[in-house]
């Protein structure tokens, strides 16, 4: 579900995709655009979500389908 959240956050702009109005590790500087830390954590979370989906698909395709429905993910996720 966290990967679903991060997948919906990027905004297109000059130079590609951007994460705008996030809180980085320094909570005294809010909002921040394109925080290196937040971008790295979001990318890690998305990669892990994809890895878990692949693992679950290999282990139990039916379980992955149920999880996709429960999290309201598209079939291609």
pLDDT in tens, 14-71: 999 999 998 888 878 778 999 999 999 999 999 999 999 899 999 998 998 898 899 8
- Only one residue has tokens 């909002």, namely 31
Residues 6 or more apart in contact with residue 26 via CB below 8 angstroms = none
pLDDT in tens, 52-67: 989 999 999 899 889 8
pTM flag (> 0.85) = no
């Amino acid at each position: 579900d966290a990967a679903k959240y991060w997948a919906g956050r990027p905004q297109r702009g000059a130079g590609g995709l951007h994460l705008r109005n996030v809180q980085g590790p320094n909570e005294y500087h809010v909002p921040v655009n394109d925080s290196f830390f937040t971008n790295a954590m979001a990318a890690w979370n998305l990669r892990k979500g994809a890895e878990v989906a692949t693992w679950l698909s290999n282990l139990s395709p039916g379980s992955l389908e149920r999880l996709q429905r429960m999290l309201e993910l598209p079939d291609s996720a």
